[in-house]
A and B are shown apart, each in its own frame.
Chain A
Amino acid sequence: MQVPAPFEYRRATSVEDAIGLLGELGSSARVVAGGHSLLPMMKLRLATPDRLVDINDLHGELGYVRVEPGEVRIGALTRHRELLESDELAAVHPVFRDAERVIADPVVRNRGTIGGSLCQADPAEDLSAVCTAVDATCVIRSAGGTREVPMADFYRGPFETAVGDGELLIEVRVPRRPRGSSAYEKVERRAGDWAVAASAAALWLDDDGRIADVRVGLSAVGPNTTAIEGIADALRGREPSEEAYAQAGAIAAERCNPVADLRGSVEYKRHLADELTRRALRRAVARCRGEG
């Protein structure tokens, strides 16, 4: 058994209470949500926070998926499993279910949360790319009030986010736009493993069936790949086609910055950025057309 260093433990009773505790304890405190990123790091003594503020009792306040006419609101403490099982969410943004099927394993999914995933900001984490592709906004609250931060500004690089001391991520908002769909493609070495590479694509068609907009985010292929720029400009106004997907794939491969490790060579990961982007776009288009 791996055992963490000593720490103090507080259990928040409400969002207000959590924010109060975080404000009081300052930078020595860390929030614990599902604990599936934080606790392993503590057991390996890679993280040694002095104090933990446990927010798991706030599931009533922060655990929800609400599909509204203009947007989808997801509470920060919504578990992976709840995202996976939400039919409503899958109907409007299928990329979430695609991704959740291949995030970790049931044990981790039962506890791990969307808030923890985004705040952890691991470059191999899946939901940052997904949320960026669907153009989500994060709602962050502190004693001073609430602010909304788009994903592009929320994710600041590996293990760094816009959430500061005394702040809590409380909600993720995903806009709904017509004639759009999305998909996620991931290669892993084994079920439950982190991605070798993954691609999230969201795509919207215009009335003529041409590409109105497209957003692609990649995972595990570099420090800043949650949004791949340039693909929308290259594809906008074009018919969805293999050529268009290939061009998007080529841009993805070029704009990523993978490193070689046991999961794969640089060449391979670049290849996957290309291949998986094509596959994700192909699937998103099929879904837009009601074929998927």
Chain B
Amino acid sequence: MTTLGTRPLDSFADNDQKPVGYGRMLRKEDPRFVRGLGHYCDDIQLPGMLHMAILRSPFAHARIVSIDTSRALAHPKVKAVVTGADLAEKGLAWMPTLSNDVQAVLATDKVRFQGQEVAIVVAEDRYSARDGLELIDVQYDPLPPVVDVRHALDPDAPVIRDDLEGKADNHCFDWETGDAAATQAVFDRAEVVVSQDIVYPRVHPAPMETCGCVADYDRVSGKLTLWTTSQAPHAHRTLYALVAGLPEHKIRVVSPDIGGGFGNKVPIYPGYVCAIVASLVLHKPVKWMEDRSENLISTGFARDYLMRGEIAATRDGKILAVRTNVLADHGAFNGTAAPVKYPAGFFGVFTGSYDLEAAYCHMTAVYTNKAPGGVAYACSFRITEAVYLVERMVDVLARELDMDPAELRLRNLIRPEQFPYTTKTGWVYDSGEYERALRLSMETAGYEDLRKEQAERRARGELMGIGLSFFTEAVGAGPRKDMDILGLGMADGCELTVHPTGKAVVRLSVQTQGQGHETTFAQIVAEELGIPPADIEVVHGDTDQTPFGLGTYGSRSTPVSGAAAAMVARKVRDKARIIASGMLEVSVADLEWEKGAFQVKGDPTRSVTIQDVAMRAYGAGDLPEGVEGGLQAEVCYNPENLTYPFGAYICVVDVDPGTGAVKVRKFVAIDDCGTRINEMIIEGQVHGGLTDGVGMALMEMIAFDEDGNCLSASLMDYLIPTALEVPDWQTGHTVTPSPHHPIGAKGIGESATVGSPPAVVNAIVDALAPFGIRHADMPLTPSRVWDAMQGHPLPPV
């Protein structure tokens, strides 16, 4: 991690740096966070509030024979116990998932994964609620579980989803993209074909704050207020209305400060529904906050793809085609959060950043006795898996061709003049200068010198590795003609009001989980209107106070809501211009906009500031013909296309030959996210994502034993990296604006998470080259590296 001492001072913002618009600036929200004054769900205390705890299944697969709640109900502080049977009476035992599957709210017939919700206890305090769980007696009849995804479709595999009409196997869906025949033709004539099995293990977003809510049904007004850890408050409100039959105008969903989301807080979890039911029944506010183990074992996981990659090329290193066959583990219920037409998210970008002749993917998704989910964990809808696949395959090919992996990439990157570039799977990449970014990363890292050093070290028996990855992201979902979540289009609203004194309030539909929206969005409006960011209040997270939109995930906030914020500010500016023309008594065409003021062309002495105009908009006196008083506007931005950030990463590792322990020594990250709004926030996003990537590459995995017991139920077992595992990040950038985005911004939230795992793994595999190894699966713990050095790298399943 970078220390203050080693960083050039100008890379920091200080309190005197107050850009009116884009630029380095301290985050507006940080004073409250660094003082511990953030207000999270668990900080909410309401009079008479009760506490809820959830009884969870100890088995991965079992029939529920009976549930006896009488002892729990006899506990003096227990107010209610609810089982699946109770919910079934209200028609609420099952709920839809984000992928049009159904998921049990509380199990009625069977439990289908360890940790599944079986019953709830509501009590006067959190301790009593938890004590009440111990007093519920459940009789289970254990069934054989499906744990190894490779056997989920065996003819004799136990059927998990017998709740679904006529379901006789564990098949979830099949999906394909690209052209199978054209790809086969290219493979048939290719000089070189290599294939490799690659696993992206199940990992967990593990946000610092676990999931939870406070449900408060007011029986006087008939209104339900739900404070909840949600990345998408509006989508949640509509879904509660559709699922529970509550009138939508009588539901208020509020996301207060959120302690990290990473996709974990996109789905609606059974606990939220149960807390709502409890509040409706008991007429009291009910709080539910899951504990760490519950978060790890039951909420949305990510990844879990078994991929067979194939790559076809000419002998001299022209990549011709990529093909892949994927087996996707979706757990017990298909809870993937992805646009409806994209059951595999945006995995279709597995063609990477290369100019190919053909590509094809076939995917089979199956049910297993594991937690549901498959959320975007900082992955832009499965792009993490796609980029990992192609970037590993390119390295596998480089080894086969005995070619430098940087050289191989340079030879195949899409060229600037080819943009907009339509990939063989139909994605239209908006803009890119790929070679420039890759060369910059190589210069920054001192690539040639590193290779020399590596040769010297190898001669001494040391294991040093250099790994590259080049990635293209696809973010900002998405155009409503193609993309919706459960029928809700992915356009974002935004409202802006400039008050008489020139202070402004911008209302967003997206919700921050730590990304700095209160700063970034104020800067976007500031850039358009010339009002200082400090004078712009950003309101978000409360459905009663903000316009409709689908929330924050898949790096969509700046690409979609950021565009909306710029557009709404321009709309306000257009109105201000008319008012200014009246004030200056010239025609609109005679006015020039200088950030923050309109001035008469050719006469800079005659001008009015945006603040003057605001006062006039509300003040006395006539406004120009047809102009209403006030200075506000609203828009709903429907993106024309996704945006495509990209980057080039280089990682250097040292592996201890005696123990297999990996040290990430150096990491260079060159990112291109188009227009840069606040450099500090961008760098923060990159640092976090890189750390995340190192975690996945080296240590993270949700593991199960053969009975389906989750072995990663605490942070002692599910490891996430600390400052000691990461090097001093070297970040840099190029700027290639998005041509269709109003401000050219592309989004940065997930670039580093997407781009870094392959760089780290490629570096480790490179270090192990003397052992003749071409691939080793994550997580590359010392043991797994050592196993690879012994010639038997094992897949993590």
Contacts and interface: CB of A to CB of B under 8 A. Distances in A.
A289 interface: no
Nearest to B718: A262
A189 B719 contact: yes
Contacts of B719: 189-190, 193
A214 to B, nearest CB: 20
A261 B659 CA distance: 17
B131 A268 contact: no
Most buried by B among A190, A264, A267: A190
A263 interface: yes
B293 interface: yes
A187 B787 contact: no
Nearest to B661: A187
B127 A6 contact: yes
B659 A190 contact: no
B722 A190 contact: yes
B417 interface: no
Interface in B760-787: 781-783, 786-787
Contacts of A268: 660, 782-783, 786-787
Interface string A190-218: 11111010000000000000000000000
Contacts of B711: 262
Interface stretch (A144-152, A227-235, A271-279): A271-279
Contacts of B782: 187, 189, 196, 264, 268
B192 interface: no
A262 B787 contact: no
Contacts of A3: 126-127, 130
Contacts of A267: 787, 790
B717 interface: yes
A5 B781 contact: no
B125 to A, nearest CB: 9
A27 interface: no
A191 B664 CA distance: 13
Contacts of B126: 1, 3
B292 interface: yes
A190 B127 contact: no
Nearest to B790: A267
Interface string B416-431: 0000000000000000
A44 interface: yes
A187 B721 CA distance: 16
A28 interface: no
A110 interface: no
B699 A190 contact: yes
Interface in B475-515: none
Contact of B291 (A1, A5, A190, A275): A1
A197 B289 CA distance: 36
B124 interface: no
Interface in A250-292: 262-265, 267-269, 271-272, 275-276, 279
Given A44-B293, A262-B717, A191 B722 contact: yes
A271 B716 contact: no
A3 B125 CA distance: 11
Nearest to A43: B291
Contact of A194 (B134, B291, B716, B722): B716
Interface in A91-142: 105
Nearest to A48: B134
A191 B781 contact: no
B783 A264 contact: yes
Interface in A1-23: 1-3, 5-6
A263 B291 contact: no
A152 B159 CA distance: 53
A191 B725 contact: yes
A279 B699 CA distance: 25
Most buried by A among B134, B712, B719, B786: B786
Given A1-B126, A268-B786, A262 B703 contact: yes
A187 B657 CA distance: 13
B602 interface: no
Interface in B712-728: 712, 714, 716-717, 719, 721-722, 724-725
Contacts of B661: 187
A194 to B, nearest CB: 7
Contacts of B724: 190-191
Contacts of A189: 698-699, 719, 781-782
Nearest to B721: A190
Most buried by A among B130, B699, B716: B130
A272 B659 contact: yes
A77 B303 CA distance: 45
B781 A265 contact: no
A29 to B, nearest CB: 21
A6 B783 contact: no
Nearest to A2: B291
A275 B658 contact: yes
A6 B132 CA distance: 12
Nearest to B779: A189
Contacts of B42: 1
Contacts of B130: 3
A105 B717 CA distance: 15
B783 A190 contact: no
A265 B790 CA distance: 12
Contacts of B701: 262
B722 A192 contact: yes
Given A187-B661, A187-B782, A268-B786, A5 B722 contact: no
A193 B289 CA distance: 27
Q: Which 6 A-B pairs have the closest CB atoms?
A: A264-B783, A191-B724, A268-B783, A2-B291, A275-B658, A189-B781
Interface of A: 1-3, 5-6, 40, 44-45, 105, 187, 189-194, 196, 262-265, 267-269, 271-272, 275-276, 279
26 contacts: A1-B42, A1-B289, A2-B291, A5-B131, A6-B127, A40-B716, A44-B293, A44-B714, A45-B134, A189-B782, A190-B698, A191-B724, A191-B725, A193-B716, A196-B781, A262-B701, A262-B703, A264-B781, A264-B782, A265-B783, A268-B782, A268-B783, A269-B783, A271-B786, A272-B659, A279-B658
Given A189-B781, A275-B658, 8 more contacts: A6-B131, A187-B661, A189-B782, A196-B782, A262-B703, A264-B782, A265-B787, A268-B783
